[in-house]
Structure 1
Amino acid sequence: MAEPKNGLRRRFPFRFEKMWLSHPNLFSSVKDRWNVHLDSSAMFWVAKNLRHVKERVKKWNREVFGDIFVQKFAIQEELVLIQGKYQHEGYVNDNFAKESEALSKYHNIIAREETFWRQRSRALWLKDGDKNTRLFHISTLKHRTANRIGHMMNNGRIIDNEDEISRVVVEFFVDLLKKDTLLDPKAQNMLADTIPKILSESQNHNLIAIPSKEEIKSVFFSFDGSKAPCPDGFLMFFFQHFWDVVGEDVSNVVKEFFGARSLLKELNATFIVLIPKKQGVDSLHAFRPIILCNSFYKIISKVLTSRLLGVLPLLISPQQIWLFTRKTNS
């Protein structure tokens, strides 16, 4: 979106930072808040615990982890002072020890900064190795610039005010998404009667059976933990890293969905992200909307997709199976 012109900083959604995992105190902070007893269903339990963890880690970030960029500048200043003493005091052991300690802190901060920019970049092809902070930083800035909506055409006039652009975008998608595109029940029944029943009762049952904890865990760990952000800010790596703490509860959420056939609204929220089809677009029709779903939606979808792969040869041609598998794994 456009930058605000009223001088006020825009509030960004919460994002659980992967660099926080490098701090030894984080695990206890998450564990303490997750173990709050809530007498409710698994979905309510997990939704409330995620809110508790969110508030705890936001406070922990301010009071314990701190601003890595401020810390980086302070350590750089400290190193300059220590290395400047060599000219007056010579190479004494005390200065060596202080320099070694400061360098260790500096390297830790640099590693956290790299993780910070890697999480925001789209350079997913690059694996861990040499420090690539500058590359990730540039990649992030390019991505933000390419996706920034600086102006837009609306009813024949150009608008460049952030609030007005936001209003136009919201109105456009509210109108688009509220349109009823479903067939009426009679038409649905007529369409269903034309589809032959190929799968047996047992095969249909297996598709919707409540999954085991092992099946759910396997699906959780099959994801790249750092891909697209979720509305609640908890990417897949959070659940993977804290599985010993949260695994039982999040598995119960997936099981509860397969039993109740519905997902709590808090766990089913989505972001709509506008991707420009080409550079320099100024019309909403020139954007491709994509949906960023929460982790639970992705897990449930992949459980169903993995099961469906087992019966696809009975339903579609081998060529279609290859295309379906390719899209599922991408």
Structure 2
Amino acid sequence: MRTIRLGNSTLEVPVVAVGCMRISALEKSEVERFIKTALEEGANFFDHADIYGGGACEEIFADAINMNDDIREKMILQSKCGIRKGMFDFSKEYILESVDGILKRLQTDYLDTLLLHRPDALVEPEEVAEAFDILEESGKVRHFGVSNQNPMQIQLLKKYVKQPIVANQLQFSITNATMVSSGINVNMENESAINRDGSILDFCRLNDITVQPWSPFQYGFFEGTFLGNEKFPELNQQINQLAEKYNVSNTTIAIAWILRHPAKMQPVVGTTNLDRLKDCIQASEVQLTREEWYSIYRAAGNILP
């Protein structure tokens, strides 16, 4: 699979990340087959979070493949922390405790990447910096990033944190494209011109932070997928036409649309269906034209001024 550099690090990663949020619903043999299929297809970047399945997803992942040093070196593991029941917590104590739990469940000595999951309103960036220093010096975490953060939140962290912020996970799909639409409709008197994120996409590009889109097939906030959905007839017609042209699935085209953006994003796909996973991975081989990208963008109801 095609690779990109993760942020300004030296870490080369596949352009499609494998999300592990749903693997707790699978049998152990199914999880083993899922992971091996991903590795065979060149998708060796696995995204976790300590809250997925209440931690069960990380345990199941490691158990299914009988985690050992040999197989560990074949994969890139990322996890997230900071979400607690009824609150968010970026305190030094909680970050360190969370990482120890993650490493224990994944049966590994280190994470390639740790992300802070959702912004903590009570964040004390000095504490985050201390936690990151301890984790880096101990070898428990090699790279650091954030999730769902805007430019000023990242800048505040960067004032104290010496490690580069290499990634930012953000909601983005064909139907959830406000990161793009607000930049197209600058200063216009329409809904699409509303800048809801402080120009986070441009900020990440300027600062060499890899955007990792989550829920690349969802519309709204987990309201469902747009593929094959009667609510999006024009969009599905356009996607299906391109799928036929390129002799791929509609799933492949939806991911190819994200990969066509020059920001060099790394979508996180959460499917546990092996065929659909392969379709997502195949998107790295499809290069949509500028005209095709915009035709999908407009078909989703996004306007051009």
Structure 2 length as normaliser, TM-score?
0.22
Task: For CA contacts below 8 A with separation 6 or more, give which structure has more relative contact order.
Answer: 1
Q: Could you say which structure has the higher helix fraction?
A: 1
